[in-house]
């Protein structure tokens, strides 16, 4: 049994995953007692563990070697103490084992003009901006998550359009962690 839950923060590029993770960690460290959550940026893992097989110029992205990547993810979150508390930041849930994760948060930015600005300000080419906008409009990441985690409440979608949403979402996710801890304690007492 993990001491803290593992949470995936997912969504189309540009929805605010990394910003939200940073905010969750900041709130967790200020909480009383502090909660020892850790950010697992899968983007960084792809690069640092060479879990890729080259660069796709058209899509301006590393070609991910999913098997290698998932081995590395498993090493991070299951090896060691396996104590949990990972806030996992990735634009997909494909390949993740259901057992690794207690909650999947899908951030959504359905205001296409806002998402367009965020993506184009990253220097993405039109094709890449369009691909991501389509993915967001069709809710591809949310569908994929719901296919994996079918229990009620395991997948939540949160709006990430305005700056206030970041703070609100981070507070909500932290509250979910606190509730998870309370439930776990209550279950432990009853055993």
Residues 9-68 contacting ligand ADP, CB under 6 A: 11, 13-19
Pick between residue 13 and residue 84 the one whose CB is nearest to ligand ADP. 13
Give how many residues touch ligand ADP by CB under 6 A. Answer: 15
Q: Is 49 annotated as a binding residue?
A: no
If one counts every other C-beta atom within 10 angstroms of the C-beta of residue 94, the result is 16
Which tokens belong to 179? 């509730």
Convert residues 84-123 into a mask of x (bound to ligand ADP by CB under 6 A) and - (unbound): ----------------------------------x-----
Nearest by Cα to 115 from 9, 10, 8, 11: 11
Pick between residue 17 and residue 128 the one whose CB is nearest to ligand ADP. 17
Pick between residue 69 and residue 107 the one whose CB is nearest to ligand ADP. 107
Strand stretches in 29-179, DSSP E = 38-41, 52-56, 61-64, 86-89, 103-108, 155-159
Pick between residue 5 and residue 16 the one whose CB is nearest to ligand ADP. 16
Judge whether 9 and 22 are in contact, CB under 8 Å. Answer: no
Q: In whole angstroms, give the CA distance from residue 91 to residue 89.
A: 7
Residues that bind ligand ADP (CB under 6 A): 11, 13-19, 118, 160-163, 165-166
């Amino acid at each position: 049994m993990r001491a803290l839950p593992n949470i995936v923060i997912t969504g189309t590029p540009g929805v605010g995953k990394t910003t939200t993770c940073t905010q969750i960690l900041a709130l967790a460290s200020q909480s009383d007692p502090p909660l020892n959550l850790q950010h697992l940026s899968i983007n960084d893992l792809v690069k640092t563990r060479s879990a890729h097989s080259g660069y796709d110029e058209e899509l301006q992205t590393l070609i991910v070697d999913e098997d290698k990547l998932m081995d590395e993810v498993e090493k991070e979150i299951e090896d060691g103490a396996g104590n949990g508390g990972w806030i996992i930041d990735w634009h997909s849930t494909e390949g993740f084992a259901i057992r690794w994760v207690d909650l999947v948060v899908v951030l959504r930015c359905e205001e296409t003009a806002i998402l367009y600005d965020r993506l184009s300000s990253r220097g993405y080419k039109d094709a890449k901006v369009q691909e991501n906008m389509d993915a967001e409009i069709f809710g591809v990441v949310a569908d994929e998550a719901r296919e994996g985690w079918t229990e009620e409440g395991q997948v939540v979608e949160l709006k990430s359009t305005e700056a206030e949403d970041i703070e609100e979402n981070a507070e909500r996710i932290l509250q979910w962690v606190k509730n998870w801890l309370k439930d776990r304690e209550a279950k432990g007492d009853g055993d």
